[in-house]
Amino acid sequence: MPFPNIDIATKIKSQAASLGFDACGFAAATPVDDEAVARYDRWVELGHNGCMKWASGHGDLRRDPSLLLEGAKTVISLALNYYPARFQPPEALRVAYYAYGRDYHEVLREKMTKMAHFIEEITHCETRPCVDSAPIRERYWAQRAGLGFIGRNNCLIIPGRGSFFFLGEIVTTAQLPPDEPCTLTCGNCGKCVDACPAGALGVEGSVDATRCLSCLLIENHDEQLPEWVGNVIGNRVVGCDECQLCCPHNAHAVATTVEDFAPTEAVMTLTRERIEAMTSGEFKRTFAHSAISRLRYKTLLRNATIHDGNK
Ligand code: SF4
Ligand code: SF4
């Protein structure tokens, strides 16, 4: 296929828009740059990946997308808005916005599969869609593909549109014209560092997952959390959005049009009483198609009752 194939690139981006993606960009599938690799390795060495043990494996694959798909030429980065149109009432225990509706893995996978088929059809090349299913540095690739920049809150920030976006990647053997990487930064802003209730963010832009509530409430399944967590958890039970909510780039976030991401009845009415009255089986049924299913019932109950151990 000739390079750069502008016509095919335009068709791919149009298809992404028609499938509801909010942004789509291309980056050459060359290895991750040394500085980004060193930063990541240092983060793991310091143990700041915490209970995200998976983050320390597959360093070679994480560095080189051509190990995910032989002959890879391009990483396509896609973003899908999940900023809610409706919010939980104040009496409900707080769930991070990303887990309000249907499991984003399911929603994104459906859309990414359609994208991948479309790309294969028009380029006759191979594709490998990735939705948290492969060790790939999704924010890094989104930045390189020009979608936005990685903020101090460790989220991908799309200038003027914020950070409430799911990211997905399609690695492909199709050679597509790379977009200009985004070179914006947070500048002097440090609002998220100050707003983090757990002191998990460093000014240099790293997150200590051993302190991050998002990680502790979702990925840590220990019977008990450290006592200090009870002092800062507030009424959160699933994740934490604080470092995004305070970010000026989210001041003008617009609501998603993806109906699947609307808060479910279970999320809107999630109270401690409701959780305590649930059985493990009911939890599984209620959250079968929700990202909350990853918590397991015992973890959700632990999060809802953490203040008991703190009295
Ligand atoms: S998700 Fe919450 S706890 Fe984690 S870094 Fe952001 S503000 Fe801090
Ligand atoms: S709050 Fe400020 S420092 Fe934090 S990510 Fe947003 S712009 Fe960057």
Q: What is the per-residue pLDDT across 263-311, written as a single tens digit (0 to 9) for each?
A: 999 999 999 999 999 999 999 999 999 999 999 999 999 999 997 755 4
Q: Which atom of ligand 2 is nearest to the CA of 191?
A: 1
How many angstroms separate the CA atoms of 43 and 288, rounded? 33
Residue 1 has a pLDDT of 47
> pTM for the full model?
0.94
Residue among 22, 64, 103, 132 flagged as catalytic: 132
Active site residue 132: yes
The percentage of the chain sitting over the pLDDT mark of 90, rounded to a whole number, equals 84
pLDDT of residue 177: 96
> How many other CB atoms sit within 10 Å of the CB of residue 265?
8
| Helix/strand/coil (H/E/C) assignment for every residue in 33-76 | CHHHHHHHHHHHHCCCCCCCHHHHCCHHHHHCHHHCCCCCCEEE
Atom of ligand 1 nearest to the CA of 207: 5
Q: Is 153 in the pocket of ligand 2 (CB under 6 A)?
A: yes
What are the distances in angstroms from CA 232 to CA 95, 190, 199? 15, 20, 10
Q: What is the C-alpha to C-alpha distance for residues 196 and 212, in angstroms, rounded to an integer? A: 9
Q: Is 191 in the pocket of ligand 2 (CB under 6 A)?
A: yes
On whether the CB atoms of residues 78 and 20 are closer than 8 A, the answer is no
The finding on whether 190 has its CB within 6 A of some atom of ligand 2 is yes
Rounded Cα gap, residues 164 and 158, in angstroms: 9
Q: What pLDDT score does 206 carry?
A: 85
pLDDT at 203: 72
